Amino acid sequence: MSDYDVILIHPPARYDFREAPLFTGALGSSPEQIQFNKVPIGMLSIAEFLDRHGYRVIVDNLGDRMVQDPGFDADAHLQALSAKVIAIGLNFQQHAPGAIEVARRCKACHPEATIVMGGLTATCFHEEIIRKYPFVDAVIRAEGEKPLLRFMKALERTGEIGNTPNLTFRTETGEVRSTALLPASRDLDDFEYTRFDLIEPKTSIYPPNAPPRYSLAVCRGCLYNCAICGGSAASYRKNLGMERPAFRSSAKILGDIRHLKAQGVRFVGLFQDPRMGGKVYAAELLAGLAAESAGLDRLSLDLLGPADEDYIRQVAAIGPQVVIHFCPDTGCDAVRKRLGRPYDNAQLMETIRLCHQYHIPVTTFFSAGLAGESPENVHETWDLWERLDALDRQSQLCGDLKVPLGGPITGPIVIDPGSLAFENPEKYGYRLLYKNLEEYIEGLNQPSWHQWLNYETETLDKTALVDLVLTTMEFAVDQREEAGLYPPWQAAAERLKTQLDRVLVEEIGELMTITEPEERRAALQRLRDKREAFLLSNNCAA
Ligand code: B12
Ligand code: SF4
């Protein structure tokens, strides 16, 4: 008998990230850092739902095992799995190469097991997965809990899965067939998100040597339509059949927080803006959080748009552990409007001032490389960044802010599959470089970060885009040094790394012209070794 009925695997982004010569550049400081080893919160609710209905199930965070232990033998681990169904998550697009590779290996070692895939990205590419990758038996589209339960029951009773909902599969004659979606959830109160006993390894809940942090979301879906987001209202409607977001009641969220605290969590990120659930919902939730968040060191909330004083006052009443995330993405109002965020810099600044007035720290994030962005208007982003830093400093000096802040952060973007820009790139100002899953996998299997960016914009080709991203990184370092967030030695080290990234992008371009794969790989490895040696000799940690 198999040890489990279902093993849900969270894969690494790339199965070979520990051996391949990779250049992570502006995307992260090491290949380990960009394996995205947090399990999607919905994977745990799938596990709990199956467990509740009598199935033996575990979430196996393979990506985390490989990140935490450089000597971890992933092949031997996959070989030793024992389950009737191996369900591999392909939620975040970044996992496309890893998820497909894990599926291939699972089928090779366990030909008798049924290999299933699911998650947002698998949902977008469901037909292609079944058509092109014969080692995947089925894709479960959209929300996973109920369809996977129906799938398990059908498999157990008759072995006949073809009538179960949300399914894309191959018929005996090799035809690709899809069944209809179940009606989408109207709320999330039937699910549980905090059964840590159903996940292994335990380091993947929160990593060792980091604050005990866990994420919850107030809803599944969104009311906004940011052009590049695969979790937008339009994407959920089209791909998940969800007409409006499904909310979790405040009573259930407060129960989640109690469970998290009982399991040692001290930092909770509560994602998506409670105001999307309406005034009454938000007020009830915030009042409940005021009572429940005692014992937490930090509770973060999202603001997806400007807020009035009444709302900020309610947030402040939760207590001093509250932090707000507000993500302006750009300082250019025209670029932000094009992205689909309906507010301007003045409204943003006013909201942040209000937050400070009520002693709430605000963290911000800027994207580099949005449609409409140019070397000229990027100065508007830098200007806003400087104003935000100045506001933080001023609020700290006058005692409004007691929590030390890290300043804004920045990073490149990618176009999510299923997003409005993915469906209609020209309309939103982008040129897509990968159009299907196979192209995603090929792109993400390249050695360097700049090759992983899956788009250009109508004004920025790849070279200009890479330059803009790196220039933004350089600005960020200068700004962090000026704001006292980096000591001079650290700023110098970061500057050197960015300069090196510029040179490496050029050199990698040349090495990619080597046609013999082994020779190319060896040359890339030598380049990677040179990079490490150079950074070491300059006292910069890689
Ligand atoms: C909260 C959130 C986070 C949190 C928590 C992430 C987490 N642990 O899930 C944080 C801030 C940590 C985060 C990080 C990232 N996120 Co995020 N995140 C969200 C957000 C706002 C809500 C997610 C959510 O609550 N979903 C609802 C839950 C209940 O469902 P679910 O997790 O999606 O799972 C359901 C289905 O997808 C499906 N399913 C999922 N996995 C599987 C597996 C199988 C086998 C099956 C059958 C089904 C299945 O069934 C589940 C239950 O019904 C969404 C936006 C949105 N509107 O969805 C973005 C979103 C999911 N994130 C996204 C991205 C890109 C990221 C990052 C890669 C960003 C980055 N570059 O660092 C990282 C990845 C982190 C990691 N894995 O290590 C994209 C994904 C787009 C894509 N298709 O690739 C989204 C859509 C929006 C966006 N552009 O930011 N994120
Ligand atoms: S990026 Fe925009 S559309 Fe996507 S989840 Fe966030 S607010 Fe919603």
The domains located in the chain, with CATH, are 4-178 (3.40.50.2300), 211-412 (3.20.20.70), 429-537 (no CATH)
Ramachandran angles phi, psi of 195, nearest 5°: -85, 80
Give residue 398's pLDDT.
Answer: 84
User: Distance (Å, rounded) from C-alpha 85 to C-alpha 5?
Assistant: 6
What pTM, to 2 d.p., does this model score?
Answer: 0.97
**326 C-beta closer than 6 A to ligand 2:** no
Distance between Cα 415 and ligand 1 center (Å): 14
**219 C-beta closer than 6 A to ligand 2:** no
User: Distance (Å, rounded) from C-alpha 121 to C-alpha 117?
Assistant: 10
User: Distance (Å, rounded) from C-alpha 18 to C-alpha 178?
Assistant: 37
Least confident of 201-215, 282-296, 302-316, 400-414: 400-414
Give residue 199's pLDDT.
Answer: 98
Statement: residue 542 has pLDDT above 80? no
* Residue 65: closest CA among 18, 20, 29, 104: 18
The pLDDT-based confidence of 159 (bands split at 50, 70, 90) is confident
User: Distance (Å, rounded) from C-alpha 284 to C-alpha 249?
Assistant: 9
User: Distance (Å, rounded) from C-alpha 91 to C-alpha 462?
Assistant: 26
Give residue 403's pLDDT.
Answer: 66
Q: Which of 39, 41, 341 to mutate to test the pocket of ligand 1 (most atoms within 8 A of CB)?
A: 41
Digit-coded pLDDT (tens) for 483-501? 888 999 999 999 999 999 9
* Residue 409: closest CA among 365, 369, 349, 471: 365
Kindly tell me the burial class for residue 356, based on how many C-beta atoms sit within 10 Å of its own C-beta (0-12, 13-18, 19 or more): buried
**146 C-beta closer than 6 A to ligand 1:** no
Give residue 483's pLDDT.
Answer: 86
Statement: residue 136 has pLDDT above 80? yes
**145 C-beta closer than 6 A to ligand 1:** yes
Give residue 404's pLDDT.
Answer: 63
* Residue 471 near residue 378, CB atoms below 8 Å: yes
In angstroms, how far is CA 215 from the centroid of its own chain? 12
**96 C-beta closer than 6 A to ligand 1:** no
Distance between Cα 36 and ligand 1 center (Å): 10
* Residue located nearest, by CA, to atom 25 of ligand 1: 217
Point out the ligand 2 atom lying closest to the alpha carbon of residue 233.
3
Which has more pLDDT, 402 or 516? 516
The pLDDT-based confidence of 397 (bands split at 50, 70, 90) is confident
Statement: residue 116 has pLDDT above 80? yes
Q: Which ligand is nearest to the CA of 363?
A: 1
Give residue 524's pLDDT.
Answer: 98
* Residue 48 near residue 195, CB atoms below 8 Å: yes
Give residue 207's pLDDT.
Answer: 87
* Residue located nearest, by CA, to atom 44 of ligand 1: 118
Give residue 523's pLDDT.
Answer: 98
Digit-coded pLDDT (tens) for 455-482? 999 999 999 999 999 999 999 999 999 9
Statement: residue 137 has pLDDT above 80? yes
Greatest alpha-carbon pair distance for the chain in Å reads 73
* Tokens encoding 431: 């040129």
Q: What is the mean pLDDT of residues 379-394?
A: 92
> Among all chains, which residue has been given the structure tokens 């393979």?
62
User: Distance (Å, rounded) from C-alpha 434 to C-alpha 431?
Assistant: 9
Q: Which residues contact 396 (CB under 8 A, 6 or more apart)?
A: 404, 405
Residues in the chain: 542
**231 C-beta closer than 6 A to ligand 1:** yes
Point out the ligand 2 atom lying closest to the alpha carbon of residue 225.
3
User: Distance (Å, rounded) from C-alpha 119 to C-alpha 123?
Assistant: 6
Statement: residue 405 has pLDDT above 80? no
Digit-coded pLDDT (tens) for 220-278? 999 999 999 999 999 999 999 999 999 999 999 999 999 999 999 999 999 999 999 99
Digit-coded pLDDT (tens) for 161-213? 999 999 999 999 999 999 999 999 999 999 999 999 999 999 999 988 889 99
Give residue 84's pLDDT.
Answer: 97
Return the percentage of the chain with pLDDT > 90, whole number.
91
* Residue 302: closest CA among 389, 404, 231: 231
Tell me the β-bridge partners of 114. 85
Q: Which of 41, 224, 330 to mutate to test the pocket of ligand 2 (most atoms within 8 A of CB)?
A: 224
* Residue located nearest, by CA, to atom 3 of ligand 2: 232
Q: Which of 43, 125, 150, 206 to mutate to test the pocket of ligand 1 (most atoms within 8 A of CB)?
A: 43
Give residue 401's pLDDT.
Answer: 77
Least confident of 83-87, 214-218, 534-538: 534-538
**143 C-beta closer than 6 A to ligand 1:** yes
Statement: residue 508 has pLDDT above 80? yes
Q: What is the mean pLDDT of residues 403-425?
A: 89
**349 C-beta closer than 6 A to ligand 1:** no
- In the DSSP assignment, the letter for residue 185 is P
Return the percentage of the chain with pLDDT > 70, whole number.
99
User: Distance (Å, rounded) from C-alpha 45 to C-alpha 51?
Assistant: 10
Query: Which long-range contacts (C-beta less than 8 Å, at least 24 apart) are formed by 156-160?
Result: none
In angstroms, how far is CA 72 from the centroid of its own chain? 24
**239 C-beta closer than 6 A to ligand 1:** no
**37 C-beta closer than 6 A to ligand 1:** yes
Q: Which of 10, 120, 240, 366 to mutate to test the pocket of ligand 1 (most atoms within 8 A of CB)?
A: 120
Digit-coded pLDDT (tens) for 336-378? 999 999 999 999 999 999 999 999 999 999 999 999 999 999 9
**Mean pLDDT in the chain?**
95
* Residue 366 near residue 381, CB atoms below 8 Å: yes
